[in-house]
Structure 1
């Protein structure tokens, strides 16, 4: 009985474009790109711009929550020498800089 019902069911439209079936998937991918991927890329560019603009004397906060003032850079330029107290200096990766609290007055 159940088999007869399935056999009597109308068949799909003949000659319909199979590309129309992929349209919802394409729309979902486009929406995901604009809602998830594009903002992340924009955020990464802003962070890279922030890291590239670091100068001696800037007050920064690292991703680990360390506050300090940039007293210099290493020779390779990948590491920031951060002064956290009068006689305390630490080396921090440039990529660990999360926020610039104050820029140096030029």
Structure 2
């Protein structure tokens, strides 16, 4: 499954956030980690995605 805006993710660095932007050409995603903070990371460092409707933490790939 590919990432999409709104997905809740876990990064390899242990940061939880929400995908707010995706650059397939550069293999990067923008993740919001709080109301005022967004970070750009390589897609390869997204290690978990929370499936829709799940209330627990993201599932590690």
The structure-2 alpha-carbon separation of the partners of 1:101 and 1:75, relative to structure 1 and needing over 3 Å to count, comes to closer
The ranges of structure 1 where at least 4 consecutive aligned residues each deviate by more than 2 angstroms after the TM superposition are 74-77
The structure richer in strand per residue is: 2
What residue is the counterpart of 2:36 in the other structure?
87
Give the CA deviation at 1:101.
1.7
Q: Alpha carbon RMSD of aligned pairs, Å?
A: 1.9
TM-score of the aligned structures, taking structure 2 as reference length: 0.75
Deviation per residue, 1:15-65 (Å, 9 max, x gap): xxxxxxxxxxxxxxxxxxxxxxxxxxxxxxxxxxx4xx1000000001110
Structure number with greater Rg is 1
Q: For residues 8 and 39 of structure 2, what CA distance do their matches in structure 1 show?
A: 14
**Normalised by the size of structure 1, how large is the TM-score?**
0.45
Higher relative contact order (CA 8 A, sep 6+): 2
C-alpha separation in 2, matches of 1:97 and 1:65: 10
Gaps of 5+ in 1: 1-49
Q: CA deviation at 1:77?
A: 4.3
